[in-house]
Amino acid sequence: MAARRPADWQPPRGLLLALAASLILAGLPQLLRQPGVLTLLWLILLGWRLALAWQGRPSPSTWLRLLLTAAGVGLILIEYGAFFGREPGSALLVFLSIMKFVELRRPRDAQLLIFLGYFMLGVAFLFSQSLWLGAWLVLAVWALTSVWVALSDPRQPLPARRHARLAGRLLLGAVPLLLLLFLLFPRIPGPLWSLPGDAHSGVTGLSDAMEPGRISELAGSEAVAFRVQFDGPPPPPAQRYWRGPVLALTDGRRWETQPVRAGQRLPSNVQAGRLLEPRGEPVRQTLTLEPHNQVHLLALDRPGSVPEGAWLTPDLQLISETRVRLRQRYEVVSYPQVRVAASAPGRRDITRGYPADLDPRVLALARGWRAAADSPQAIIDQALRHFNQEHFIYTLTPPRLGANPVGEFLFETRRGFCEHYAAAFTLLMRAAGLPARVVTGYLGGEYNAAGDYLVVRQSDAHAWAEVWLPEGGWVRVDPTTAIAPERIESRIEVGASRDSGAVRFWTDGTRGWQRTLQEMRQSWDALNHRWNQWVLDYGPERQRDFLSGLGLPDVSWRGLGLTLLLLLIPVLALLAWWMLRPRETARDPAVRLYRAFCRRLARHGIRPEPGETPRQLLARIRRTRPALAPAAGRVIQRYQVLRYRRQPPRDALEALRRAVRAFR
């Protein structure tokens, strides 16, 4: 390579093609994600450079490239409106790599492109870490490394099968190191510096506030909210209420969580136990929560224990110490049939209050029920009957509501989804003098038989109410069930309901293909779950678990480094042995035997010359070392029989082996 003057370097066409292909492969996620016009332009630039090479023309001049670069960067600025942040940064990286490809006039440029390709892979994982992307990583790294090997082959810089094979061997050998480093490299929680603003954008989940009537369409998403594994059997569908934010503060339109003073935290199981009167079987569960960039954690209603790094509000809402920006795994014990014995003083008043400007019709309706009822339970029943007998409709595309949403909903539109019903019901209860609050969370969950866990999706989001009864404590009331009782035991099929506006309920597919499809989907989800558990969620905590499983509890940062080093040495030694061991490369057993013979000959100081035929070698042995000639002659004669006779006798190979063994 030193022999070539850099300016004269014309990249071979095959190399250009391979580079372009691996570059596209490495940039694929970005090319698919970014606006189509950018992708189209990038591909045109790539093709243009290839066309130039095919016509034997050099790369475009510097000023033209500068102009194109400026144009491309401008286009990115127009499309994204900024340079900083994940999205435009990634787009810029891919674009500049393509411009480097357009330039490509030195071997070093090609080398740099390979490095840029690896970097693109890393950047792609900031957007998604799905199983697909993991498989794609392996493929892309292999492609890039193959081109790299070819690039370093000074005689044949064209990618060939042997380059790919060698790259594969390098990657295979790298796997033990990958595993070791992955498991033992000290993991530091939290970012080293502040991340760009859009680092956590695009994550979905329940919010800490709710405002029925503001949105006219429920953005249902099939994205997974969390997965739950149970120690025992999963609870029956009717009990699958997953408790999230508890909303007690309202101005009649917007519902918010009530702030908790530091002294009101219930940080331990003991205090949670004092608040709760456990009844029935506790349900021990392990939740794997997808990041939602909020502080609330979810648990089966009602949580009775507190995972590490979290605390419990007096409303029995699990709160994480930090925002959930990584997939989080925690254990909770829940008591579905618990009686909530008490509420923190001062907090129950909030749950009685209703805004002063509450629609008089609402107030009148509630007071009428209260006057007629002889017990709080009767008021609740009356309200549910009202929802059931009046013409209330459950829809995912309700009309927008104005300044007085509850009144409008109850007396005019009568169309809404769970949030509308929960909010209206809670206000009705408060107007009737009963403490009540809204609880948001999820309802349902699909049992995945392949992985023995429940999947709860964003489309399972739900809102219900809790009412305080003097004898029963906080009691869950789900007004939505008064309208559509099937809602409890079925899931809404969001995709279908979007178009028609009516809700179609998902019942287990009875037709064969539907069932197969569902099973396939479940297996895929189970695979994803395992991927999440074993690959993506391996963080400081799981590392600690893993090490204590190895009998190394509470390893310090330094101890971890030391362990890693101590384990690295034998692994490296093994790898070195594997790489450096003498290898027999010939496939043909006859050639292998002949080579063994040559090695034995070498002990006598005789080495075959380059180009020396076995017969010439034998002649030389006869001349120089006649004592060896008879035994060597037998070997060579049999070898030649195997090589040159059209149909060598069946035992020829065995005869050769014996002859070689006999040669000393």
User: Which spans of this chain sit near other proteins (rule: CB under 8 A)?
Assistant: 2-3, 111, 115, 118-119, 121-123, 125-126, 129, 133-134, 137, 141, 145, 148-149, 151-155, 166-167, 169-171, 173-178, 181-182, 185, 188-193, 195, 199, 325-326, 535-539, 572, 575-576, 579-580, 582-586, 591, 607, 610-611
ω into 414 cis (within 30 of 0): no
3-class SS of residue 415? strand
Calculate the CA 177 to chain-centre distance: 23
CB of 486 to other proteins, least distance (A): 41
The interaxial angle of helices 107-124 and 131-151, nearest 10 deg, is: 170
Write the CB contacts of 649 (distance below 8 Å, at least 6 apart in sequence): 641, 655
Selection from 424, 416, 411, 414 nearest residue 396 by Cα = 416
Residue 242 forms beta bridges with which residues? 300, 442
Alpha carbons 80 and 93: distance in angstroms, whole number: 14
CB of 178 to other proteins, least distance (A): 4
**Pairing state of beta strands 491-492 and 505-506?**
antiparallel
CB of 149 to other proteins, least distance (A): 5
CB of 535 to other proteins, least distance (A): 6
C-beta of 462 vs 529, nearer to other proteins: 529
Q: Which residue has the tokens 């949580």?
A: 303
Q: Which of 418, 460, 525, 529 is catalytic?
A: 418
CB of 124 to other proteins, least distance (A): 9
C-beta of 192 vs 262, nearer to other proteins: 192
Alpha carbons 347 and 248: distance in angstroms, whole number: 9
Selection from 71, 68, 55, 41 nearest residue 13 by Cα = 55
**HSE toward the beta carbon, residue 429, CA cutoff 13 A:** 33
Q: How far apart, in Å, do the first and last CA atoms of the chain sit?
A: 46
What are the tokens at 591?
């050639």
C-beta of 215 vs 535, nearer to other proteins: 535
What are the tokens at 222?
């099939």
Q: Do 579 and 173 meet the contact criterion of CB atoms below 8 Å apart?
A: yes
What are the tokens at 74?
């401008």
Whether 462 is a known active-site residue: answer: yes
C-beta of 84 vs 115, nearer to other proteins: 115
Selection from 303, 290, 412 nearest residue 361 by Cα = 412
Whether 418 is a known active-site residue: answer: yes
Selection from 376, 279, 374, 296 nearest residue 334 by Cα = 279
What are the tokens at 56?
């034997």
Q: Do 441 and 379 meet the contact criterion of CB atoms below 8 Å apart?
A: no
DSSP code for 215: -
C-beta of 3 vs 371, nearer to other proteins: 3
CB of 234 to other proteins, least distance (A): 28
Q: Which of 163, 478, 525, 529 is catalytic?
A: 478
C-beta of 263 vs 611, nearer to other proteins: 611
Cα radius of gyration rounded to whole Å, the chain: 36
Show the beta-strand stretches assigned E in 175-259: 209-210, 224-230, 241-250, 255-257
Q: Which of 163, 386, 420, 462 is catalytic?
A: 462
Task: Please state the three-class secondary structure of 242-275 as a single string.
Answer: EEEEEEEEECCCCEEECCCCHHHCECCHHHHHHH
C-beta of 47 vs 154, nearer to other proteins: 154
C-beta of 497 vs 533, nearer to other proteins: 533
Identity of residue 427: L
CB of 644 to other proteins, least distance (A): 16
Q: Which residue has the tokens 């014995």?
A: 341
**Pairing state of beta strands 283-289 and 224-230?**
antiparallel
Alpha carbons 319 and 296: distance in angstroms, whole number: 5
C-beta of 64 vs 586, nearer to other proteins: 586
CB of 604 to other proteins, least distance (A): 14
C-beta of 191 vs 259, nearer to other proteins: 191
DSSP code for 452: T
CB of 157 to other proteins, least distance (A): 11
Alpha carbons 426 and 442: distance in angstroms, whole number: 18
CB of 16 to other proteins, least distance (A): 18
CA torsion, points 206, 208, 213, 219, in degrees to nearest 10? Answer: -20
Alpha carbons 313 and 245: distance in angstroms, whole number: 10
CB of 505 to other proteins, least distance (A): 38
C-beta of 124 vs 429, nearer to other proteins: 124
Residues marked active site are found at 418, 462, 478
